[in-house]
Amino acid sequence: MRFSEVASRLTGVSTPIFGVSWQPPQSDVDAVKRTLVFLEDRRVLYAPDEAEVPKHCVDSVLRMREFLTDQLASGGVPDDVAGSLRAMRAAAR
């Protein structure tokens, strides 16, 4: 972790002896778990085409794109996972 990354997560400093408050980085595993939990609830990925209403499918795919964009924007996603998220987002276009 670079100094600039640590400095950006610094949230406070206390002085009686010395103390620092900071927000730990999002773990890679957490980012992947959140994405999998979200995607496993998307019927458009699992239900047969004939069982779906086209408008609902479009709405679901748009929500998936928004979620994937939010995950990428939040940071803390490893490069190899970010590449996969970008590919999924591109496929949803």
pLDDT in tens, the chain (93 residues): 555 555 555 565 556 666 655 555 566 677 788 888 998 888 888 878 777 888 988 999 999 999 999 989 887 777 888 898 999 999 988
Domain membership of residue 41 (yes or no) is yes
Q: Give the residue numbers spanning the domain of 35.
A: 26-91
Selection from 92, 39, 35, 83 nearest residue 62 by Cα: 92
Domain membership of residue 16 (yes or no) is no
Q: What span, in angstroms and rounded, lies between the C-alpha atoms of 66 and 60?
A: 10
Domain membership of residue 38 (yes or no) is yes
Write the DSSP symbol of residue 50.
Answer: G
Residue with tokens 């490893």: 78
Domain membership of residue 47 (yes or no) is yes
Q: What span, in angstroms and rounded, lies between the C-alpha atoms of 31 and 71?
A: 7
- Neighbour-count burial of 38, counting CB atoms closer than 10 A to its CB (0-12 exposed, 13-18 middle, 19+ buried): middle
pTM score of the predicted model = 0.67
pLDDT at 62: 94
Domain count within the chain: 1
